């Protein structure tokens, strides 16, 4: 397998609680032109305010 076919090992961090994608799934979204990240634990608070 060549290096071009390898997927980068990216780790994201929740902007709300700081957990990483190694611990919980992270959702990426764009708000006001800025890319942000939210874990599945914080997602209900983001949706319901």
**pLDDT tens-digit readout, 4-47:** 545 567 899 999 999 999 999 999 999 999 999 999 999 999 99
Q: How many domains does the chain have?
A: 1
Tokens of 23: 């611990």
d(CA 24, CA 31): 21
- Whether residue 6 lies inside any domain: the answer is no
Place of tokens 């983001």: 46
Strands (E), 1-49: 26-31, 34-39
- Give a yes or no: residue 31 inside a domain: yes
Q: How many helices, marked H, and strands, marked E, lie in the chain?
A: 1, 2
pTM equals 0.74
Residue 41 lies in a domain: yes
Is position 4 within any domain? no
Q: Which domain holds residue 33?
A: 11-48
pLDDT at residue 9 in the model:
74
Q: What is the largest CA-CA distance in the chain?
A: 45
The pLDDT score that the predictor gives to residue 7 is 56
Report d(CA 46, CA 40) in Å as an integer. 10
| Structure confidence at residue 42 (pLDDT) | 97
What pLDDT score does 10 carry? 87
């Amino acid at each position: 397998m060549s290096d071009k076919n390898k997927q980068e090992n990216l780790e994201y961090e929740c902007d709300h609680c700081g957990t990483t994608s190694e611990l919980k799934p992270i959702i990426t979204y764009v708000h006001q032109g800025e890319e942000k990240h939210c874990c599945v634990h914080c997602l209900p608070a983001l949706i319901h305010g």
